[in-house]
Structure 1
Amino acid sequence: MSAHAASASEAELPPLTAGPYRKRIGLISLVACLGGLLFGYDTGVANGAEGPMSHELGLNELQTGIVISSLVFAAAVGAFLGGQISDRIGRRKMILVLAIMFFVGVIFVVTAPGFGVVVVGRIILGLAVGGASTVVPVYLAELAPFEIRGSITGRNELAIVIGQFAAFTVNAILAASFGEQEGVWRIMFGICALPAVALFIGMMRMPESPRWLVEKGRYDEALAVLKTVRSEDRALAELAQVERVADEEKDEHGLDFKQILANRWLRRIVLVGIGVAVAQQLTGINSIMYYGSRVLEQSGFSQTAATIANTNFGLAAVIGGIIALRNMDRLDRRKTFMIGLTLTTICHCLVGIAGLVIPEDNAARPYVILVLITAFVLSMQTFLNIAVWVWLAEIFPLQIRGLAIGISVFFGWFVNACLALYVPTLLHNLGLGTFFLFAIVGVIMLGFLWHEVPETRNKSLEHLEESLLSGELYATLPRRVPFARGPKKH
C-alpha cells in the first residue's frame, strides 16, 4: 500500500476544513508544548551553569558528573513510568502532575545548600522531563486530525530545542552580566519555574485526550472534546471509528508486558520503537547539547568564546525545527529518517576528518569545526529529531500506547545517560575522533531504519492500529520478512 493512498478508514472521514477548531488545536498545542519547553530548558541549562555551581558548592568532578547525569538517568525512569501512569489517569492529569514536579524540582535546586539537595532536585526534574517526553507527544497526536498530526505533534520537539536555545542564551547573558558573582547559577536554574506555573494554569483549561476517554468508555465526554477541535460531522465520524477499533481490541490486549510479549506484532513494533529511540540518541545530538562548549574548546576556542559559540547549536536546532514542521506533513516519515541519518553520518565523518587533518595551531580550525557541528545539529533537527518523536507518538495501538512509548523512550534516555557519562572520557582520550564512532553507528542504524520502520504518514491512528495488529503494516516495508507473510492474531 502506498503511504499516500487513502485507506478505507481515512476515506470514511469528512474532509478537514477551515474553522475555529483549528485555532483551538493551535492553543492546546501551545499550552501542552510548555512541557517540551521545560524539557529543553532543564536539559540545556547545565551547559553553562555547572561551572559556577560546582565552584560555589565545592563539588569535585565526580559530584559534578552525578549532578548532570542524575537528571538523564531519572528521565529514563520518568519516561517509562509516565506513559503507564498516563494510560491510567489520563494524559491531561499526567501533564498537570508533571508541571508540579517541574516546579518542585526547581525549588530544590535553587535553594540547595549542597550536593545532596541539588541531586534530589535534579532527579525530580529528570522524572518530569522523562514523563513529558512521552506524554506530551501522545496527547498531541491523539487530539490532532491525521492530516496535520505530524506538524501538531512535532511542535513539542520544536519547543524542546527552543527551551535548550533559551537556556544557552540565558546562561550567556547572565554570565556576561554577573560574571563570577555568587549565586548566578541559581538564577539560571530558577527561571524555568515560570513556564512550569504557566503549564499548570494552562492545562487546567485544556481538554482530555478524546481517544483516552473512548478507551475508558467515556464516549459522551470524548464527543464533546472532539466537537471543540473538529467540525461536527467530522467529530461524529471520527468518534465512530475510534469506538469501533477500541471495541474490537478491548478483549485482546492489556496494559502489561505479558500482552505485548504474547502478540508477535506488538512485540515487534515495540522492539522497533526501542531501536528508533536508541538510533536518535546514538547520533550524539544530546552529547553536543550537554558538552558543546567542551567540544569547541577542544577544537581551539577559548572558554569564553566556546560558551558564546555554543549558542549557534541552539539556534541551528530552532531553525531546523521550523523547517521540519513545515515538511512534517509533506514528506514521509521513512524518507525524513533516511535523509536525516545520512546527513548526520556525513557530518560526523567530516568533523572527525577536520580534527585529524587541520593542525591545532591553524586559526581556521575551530571555525571549520564549529560550522560542521552546526551543520550536524541543523541536519538532525530538520530531518530526524521531530520525525522520531512524531513517529513514536503515532505508531503504537491505543491500549498500550503509553506503556509502549514509555518502554521505547526509556531505552533512548538510558543510552542518552550513558553518553552523558562517557562522552567526556571519549573526548579526552580520542578527541574529535569520537565523531568517527558516531559515524560507524550511524551506518548501522541506517540499515535498521530502512528494513524495519513502517510508514505512518497520511494514516489515521485507527487505521495504523488495525493494520499493525493484522501484520498488514509490515507488508509495506521494502523488504518482505518471513514473519510478515500474512495476518495472525493472538
Structure 2
Amino acid sequence: MSILSLKEDRPTPAAVYNWRIYVCAAIVSWASCMIGYDSAFIGTTIALPSFIDEFDLDSYSASKKALISANIVSVYQAGAFFGSLSAYGSSYFLGRRKSLWLFAVLFIAGAGAMLAANAERGLNVIVGTRFLAGFGIGGASNMVPIYISELSPPAIRGRLVGIYELGWQIGGLVGFWINYGINKNMAPSTSQWLIPYGVQLIPAGLLLIGSIWVPESPRWLFSKGRREEATKVLCWLRQLPATDTYMLQEIAYIDEDLTRFRDEVGAGFWKPFRALSNKSVLWRFFLGGMLFMWQNATGINAINYYSPTVFKTLGITGTNTGFLTTGIFGVVKTVLTVIWLVFLIDKLGRRKLLMFGSIGGSVCMWIIGALVKTSVPTDNVLGTMTSGGVAAIFFLYLWTAVYTPSWNGTPWVINSEMFDQNTRSLGQASAAANNWLWNFLISRFTPQMFLKMGYGVYFFFAALMICSSVFVFFLVPETKAIPLEQMDRLFATKPIRGAHGIVMEELARINELQREEADEKPTAEELA
C-alpha cells in the first residue's frame, strides 16, 4: 500500500472523495486562521517598541510588566472558554452553519473595537474587547471540527479535520511574520502596532461570508427530523444518488445511531447531560479534556504566545532578530502540518503520532533545558550567540518538528470523531472548553514561570510529555477509519491498544455478510 492509500470501513465509490467536502472544510477553517493568527501575533505585537512606548510599559517593574502582558494575552482565552461552552446551545437550536455565522460576527465586533485603543484610552480597551473576540473564537473552535467530521467520509476524516489545523498554522505563520515586516519597514508609531490588530478582520470576514454558502451538517438535519433536506445535502456532498448502496448504508448507520441513543437517553436540549451517567460516555468526556491538558503540557502555547520571551532565554537579542527566529518557528510548524494532514494522520493513525510526539518532544525539552542551564548566559551583555544557544535553538526547532505532526492537531481530530450524534456537540463543547482552560492557565502564568524558574520551565514541560505518553498508551484507542456511528463499539472493545483492529475486522465481516445476502436475494427478473 502507498502512503496515500486509504483504509476504508467499507467499499467506497471514488465520487465520495470529491472537491465539495474539501472546499467546505477549507471555508469553515477560516475560523482556525483567526485562532492561529491571534496565538502568534499578540506576543510579538506587545513586544514591539512602538506598543511599549505607546503605553509606557518600560516604566513598570519586570514583574508588573509580565502581569500586564499575561492579562492582555490570557483574557482572550478566558472569553474563548465561555464561548466554547455557549456553542452547545447555539448548535442545538441554530445548527452548525448559523452558529459559525454568529460567532464570526461576535469576533468581528471584538476585533474591530480593539482598533479604538490608544495611550489616552489605555490598555483596558484591548483587554475588554479581547474577551469578546475570544468568546467568538471559542464558539468557532467548537463548531468547526464538529461540522467537518459530520460531513466527512470515514477514510479521510482525519485529513479533512486536519485542514482545520492547517488553517491554524497558516494564520500563525502570518501572525509570526507580520510584526517582523512592520518592525523592519515601518517607523514606530500607533499605526505600526494597530496594523496587526486590524489584520484579524480579514479571516473573520471570509468566515462570515463562507458560512452563508456552505450547507448545514446533514447529521444535524437528521437529528432534527429534517430527513428530506438532510438526504439532499448528503447526496450533494457525496455526489451520489440517494438510491446508491453506499448512501443507503450511511443513512442506515445514522438512523441506527439516532434511534439507539433516543431509546437509551432521549432527545432534547438537556437529555445529552443525562448521558453523562453512562460511564462509557463520561469516559470519553474525560479523555477529550485530558488530551487538551496534555497538549498544553507540551509547552506549545508558552512558545506561541510568548515566543520573544522564549527565544530571549535561548540567547536571542534584538527585536527584529527575535521576530525573525519566531517567524522561522512558524514556517517549520506550517510545513510539518501539511505533511501531517496529507501523509500521516489517516495513514499512521492517531495513537502512533501522539506517542511519537510525547517521547521525541520530551527528549528535546530535556536537552534544551540542559543547554540553557549550562551554556546560555542569563545576562547576554555582548548580544552574541553562544554555541550552546545555537544548539538550544536547533533543538527547539527539532522539538517543533516532532510536536507539530503529533500533538498539534491530533487532539482536535480525536475529539471531533469519538462522540455519538447526540453527545457530539456537548462533547466538543467540553473538549474545546478544556482546551481554552488549559490554554488560559499556560498563557496567564508563562511570564511568571520564566521569571521564577528560568531553564526549569523546559524540564517541567519535558516531564509532563513523558507522562502524556503513558496516558496515550494505556487509555486512548485508535479511531482512524472507524465510522462515527461505530465509536461506541470501539470504546467498548478491550484491550485499548488492539481495539481498532478488532472493530475493523468486525465491520469487514458484517459488510461481507451483507454482500452475500444481497447476492442470494432473487432479482426482479428472477421473481418474474
TM-score, structure 1 as length reference: 0.91
The percentage of aligned residue pairs carrying the same residue is 27
Cα drift, residue 58 of structure 1? 4.2
Counterpart of 2:359? Answer: 342
- Provide the C-alpha distance between the structure 2 equivalents of 1:359 and 1:415, rounded to a whole number of angstroms: 29
* Correspondence for 1:103 among 108, 121, 127: 108
Residue 291 of structure 1 corresponds to 306
Inter-partner Cα distance in structure 2 for 1:193 and 1:448 = 39
Q: Give CA-to-partner distance per residue, 1:318-373, whole Å, 9 cap, x none.
A: 01101111211101211111111111111111111111232537622332222111
| CA offsets 1:59-93 (integer angstroms, 9 cap, x no match) | 56233321111001211222222244223321111
Q: CA deviation at 1:24?
A: 0.8
Does residue 357 in structure 1 map to residue 374 in structure 2? yes
From 315, 318, 321, the counterpart of 2:337: 321
Q: Which residue of the partner structure matches residue 328 of structure 2?
A: 312
Question: How far 1:421 sits from its partner (Å)?
Answer: 1.6
After TM superposition, the structure 1 = structure 2 runs for residues 185-334 of structure 1, keeping only pairs within 5 Å, are 185-230=193-238, 231-232=240-241, 233=244, 234-253=246-265, 256=270, 258-304=273-319, 305-326=321-342, 327-334=344-351
Residues 173 and 455 of structure 1: CA distance in aligned 2, closer, same or farther (over 3 Å): same
Q: Corresponding residue for 1:158?
A: 166
> Residues 195 and 258 (structure 1 numbering): CA distance in 2 closer, same or farther, change over 3 Å?
closer
Kindly indicate whether the alpha-carbon contact (under 8 Å) linking 2:372 and 2:389 is maintained by their aligned counterparts in 1: no
Alpha carbons of structure 1 residues 86 and 58: separation in structure 2 relative to 1, 3 Å: farther
Equivalence map 1:139-178=2 (5 Å): 139-178=147-186
Note the C-alpha offset of 1:449.
1.2
Contact 1:355 1:433 in 2 (8 A): no
> In structure 2, do the counterparts of structure 1 residues 467 and 359 end up closer, same or farther at CA, with 3 Å as the change threshold?
closer
CA contact (8 A) 1:349 1:436 kept: yes
* SS of the residue 2:263 aligns to: coil
Equivalent residue for 2:12?
15
Please point out which of 428, 435, 439 is paired with 2:458: 435
1:6 deviates by 8.3
Q: Which residue of 2 is the match for residue 488 of structure 1?
A: none
TM-score, reference length from structure 2: 0.84
RMSD: 2.1
Please show how residues 45-84 of structure 1 align to structure 2 within 5 Å. Answer: 45-51=41-47, 52-58=50-56, 61=65, 62-84=67-89
1:92 to 84, 94, 97: 97
**Matched-pair contact (CA < 8 Å) for 1:74–1:127:** yes
Which one-letter code corresponds to 1:49 in the other structure? T
Query: In the aligned structure 1, how far is the partner of 2:13 from the partner of 2:468?
Result: 36
Q: Which amino acid aligns with 1:321?
A: T
Give the CA deviation at 1:119.
1.5
Structure 1 equivalent of residue 133 of structure 2 = 125
Farther off after superposition, 291-300 or 206-215? 291-300
Alignment of 1:360-439 (within 5 A): 360=377, 363-439=386-462
2:24 corresponds in structure 1 to 28
CA deviations 1:154-199 (Å, max 9, x no partner) are: 1101110110110111111111111422231111110121221111
Query: Aligned to 1:180, which of 185, 188, 192?
Result: 188
Q: Is the 8 A contact 1:138 1:402 kept in 2?
A: yes
* Partner Cα distance (1:104, 1:417) in 2: 22
Distance 1:23 1:359 in 2: 50
Which whole-Å deviations, capped at 9, do the CAs of 1:447-473 have from their partners, x for residues lacking one?
1111111111111101114544xx23x
Q: 1:339 to 1:27 in 2, by over 3 A?
A: same
The amino acid across from 2:108 in the alignment is F
- Cα distance, 1:316–1:225 mapped onto 2, change above 3 Å: same
3-state SS of the aligned residue for 1:15?
A: coil
Unaligned runs of 5+ in 2: 500-528
1:246-274 CA-to-partner distances (Å, cap 9, x unmatched) read 11211323654741331111111111111
Q: Deviations over 1:419-476 (max 9, x none)?
A: 11212112122222211011111111211111111111111101114544xx23x544
Indicate how the Cα distance of structure 1 residues 296 and 85 shifts in structure 2: closer, same or farther if over 3 A, else same: same
Task: Find the aligned partners of 2:273 and 2:247 in 1 and give their Cα distance.
Answer: 34
Give the counterpart letter for 1:445 in structure 2: S
> Could you tell me whether the CA contact under 8 Å between 1:84 and 1:406 is conserved in 2?
no
Instruction: Answer whether contact 2:293 2:434 (CA < 8 A) is retained.
Output: yes
Aligned length: 468
Distance in 2 (alpha carbons) for counterparts of 1:364 and 1:165: 27
| Ranges in structure 1 where 5+ consecutive residues have no aligned partner | 480-490
Q: Give SS of 2:454's match.
A: helix
Distance 2:432 2:196 in 1: 27
| Change in 2 beyond 3 A, CA 1:87/1:346 | farther
Query: What amino acid sits opposite 2:311 in the alignment?
Result: L
**Stretch deviating more after TM superposition (356-365 or 75-84):** 356-365
Partners of 1:5 and 1:64 lie apart in 2 by 46
**Per-residue deviation at 1:111?**
1.6
Q: Which residue of 2 aligns with 1:482?
A: none
